[in-house]
Amino acid sequence: MTTTYDVVVVGAGHAGVAVVSALAKAGFAGSVAVLGDEPVLPYERPPLSKEYLTDGGAAPLLRTEAFWSTDSVQLELGAQVTTVDPAAKLVHVADGRTFGYRKLVWATGADARALRVPGATADNLHSIRRLSDVDRLRRHLTARGRAVIIGGGYIGLETAAVLTGLGHQVTVVEAVDRVLARVTGPVVSRFYQQLHERHGVRIVLGETVAGIATRAGRAHGVHLGSGELLPADVVIVGVGAVPAVEVLQDAGAAGDGGLLVDDLCRTTLPDVHAIGDCALQVNRFSTSAAPVRLESVSNANHQAKVTAAHLVGAPPPVPAVPWFWSNQYDVKLQTAGLFAGHDEVVTRGEPDSGRFSVLYLARGRLLAADCVNVPADFAGARRVIGERERLDTELAADPGTPLKTAVLAHA
């Protein structure tokens, strides 16, 4: 017999768990089922490339076991959804079970992008997306080994920092001419490159990976396009994420490179919402009118709140300025806003001091800020971006002037 729930949530990551909490906080009294495809209780993902990789230990659970033992929420682990029937409002799971829904919340996140080169199936080649990925990586780490990390984004660099700290000899290979190119500007890229180089990491820029050198199914090196062979005891691939949207798209949901949702997180299928890393939504803080897909905890939380408010008939929360963070060594990067489309860059403070911010503006308005060890700038920038204020760039360049003081009076 099929049980029908008022809300079925597919995905038990940050977004899926956030919608459960947001519904409870909004006073939702209906039945909720959460289907997670992993066999473990929902956990936090950001520590996977930070503390959990460093120390292992207990999984960083998003909620205690007791949270899930209430009657109001049915958590199903190891439930891999294979098909959705939007006409009958049914979700089918690989083990044969079927769940009926009145409202469906799709929160499946994204999977690590696979590297498509010869040898990429090597046993000691790893991605860092799931708890099991890191458990497996930790088992493969030999003392003071050589690690080659493919990809100089957040995951690659955070992993480089951890492995360096654990005594490994680390090389990072990045395809474009600077690290963190997708998420930040050249000033911050240069700062992070130098930070890693000071810690002994070799950073190879503008290099492609031609293949993984293997022996008996194990990688022993990485072949670069230039012909160089980087010896490796372990290889880590951090080349981005691919939204897990195939099942819902097969059911008819629209969206190119994500699930297209409106401002209430509704997909093009009736009574089906999508939130978190898999959702493609127009963002009022983006310079582009095209929908964007944001990979961040804050976006997952915000979209969960928007969805919960809609499901209980409450007004939506005010739009939240997107934000991101990354911890590497003792350096804390906090980013507010979306920097794409900026036409002006202002640096506040001296990067060499290890404490500075970079502001990105478009037509005089603050779009985004990268704050390196300056929480005050981060908080100030979030506010200024949220209020869509114009900045006096000369004042804003002075790190001694609080950002809000640099806001221009309204004309």
Partner 1 sequence: MGRITFIDSGQAERPADFSPGESVMTAAVNNNVAGIDGECGGELSCATCHVYLPESLAALVPPPSADELEMLEVVDERQAGSRLGCQVRLVDSMDGMVVVVAGEGS
Sheet strands (E) in 188-278: 202-204, 209-215, 218-224, 229-231, 234-237, 241-243, 259-261, 272-274
Angle between the N-to-C axes of helices 14-25 and 297-312, in degrees from 0 to 180, rounded to the nearest 10:
40
Phi-psi region of 195 (alpha: psi -120 to 50; beta: other; left: phi over 0): alpha
Sign (positive/negative) of CA torsion 364, 366, 368, 369? positive
- Binder to partner 1 among 257, 270, 317, 364 (CB under 8 A)? 317
**Among the listed residues 6, 31, 38, 67, the single contact to partner 1 using CB under 8 A:** 67
What does the DSSP 8-state code read for residue 318?
P
In the complex with partner 1, the residue whose CB is nearer, 272 or 385, is 385
If one asks whether residue 63 binds partner 1 (CB under 8 A), the answer comes out as yes
Is 356 a residue that touches partner 1 (CB under 8 A)? Answer: no
- 407 sits in the region (left: phi over 0; alpha: psi -120 to 50; else beta) called beta
| Closer by beta carbon to partner 1, 63 or else 199 | 63
Look at strands 323-328 and 279-281 and give their pairing.
Answer: unpaired
Verify binding: residue 301, partner 1, rule CB under 8 A: yes
- Min dist. Cβ of residue 51 to partner 1 (A): 9
Residue 129 lies near partner 1 (rule: CB under 8 A): no
Tokens of 82: 């294979």
**Identified binder of partner 1 from the candidate list 80, 169, 298, 347, rule CB under 8 A:** 298
CB of 92 to partner 1, least distance (A): 30
Does 30 help bind partner 1 (rule: CB under 8 A)? no
Angle at 170 between CA 165 and CA 175, to 5 degrees: 130
Q: Using CB under 8 A, which of 4, 21, 31, 83 touches partner 1?
A: 21
Footprint on residues 369-398 left by partner 1 (CB under 8 A): 375-376, 378-380
Among residues 323, 339, 356, 360, the one that binds partner 1 under rule CB under 8 A: 323
**Quick one: CA dihedral 376, 155, 248, 71, positive or negative?**
negative
Residue 51 or 111 with smaller CB distance to partner 1: 51
Q: Does 305 bind partner 1 (CB under 8 A)?
A: yes
**CB of 113 or CB of 325, closer to partner 1:** 325
Cβ-based neighbour number of residue 116 at 10 Å: 8
Q: How far is CA 250 from CA 87, 220, 259, 269, in A?
A: 13, 39, 11, 11
Buried b (16+ CB within 10 A) or exposed e, 350-381: ebeeebbbbbbbeeebbbbbbbbbbeebbbbb
Size of the site for partner 1 (CB under 8 A): 26
Q: CB of 137: closest distance to partner 1 in angstroms?
A: 20
Q: Shortest CA distance to 47 belongs to which of 142, 160, 112, 130?
A: 130
Beta bridge partners, 19, equal: none
Closest CB to partner 1 among residues 118, 317: 317
For residue 11, what are its two tokens?
A: 């995905």
Q: Which stretch binds partner 1 (CB under 8 A): 75-83, 134-142, 162-170, 294-302?
A: 294-302
The answer to the question of residue 44 lying near partner 1 (CB under 8 A) is yes
Residue 117 CB, shortest distance to partner 1, in Å, is 34
74 binds partner 1 (CB under 8 A): no
Q: Which of 6, 31, 38, 47 binds partner 1 (CB under 8 A)?
A: 47
SS3 388: coil
Q: Which stretch binds partner 1 (CB under 8 A): 109-117, 251-259, 319-327, 343-351?
A: 319-327
138 binds partner 1 per the rule CB under 8 A:
no
Using CB under 8 A, list all residues that contact partner 1.
21, 24-25, 44, 46-47, 60, 63-64, 66-67, 297-298, 301, 305, 317, 323, 325, 327, 332, 334, 375-376, 378-380
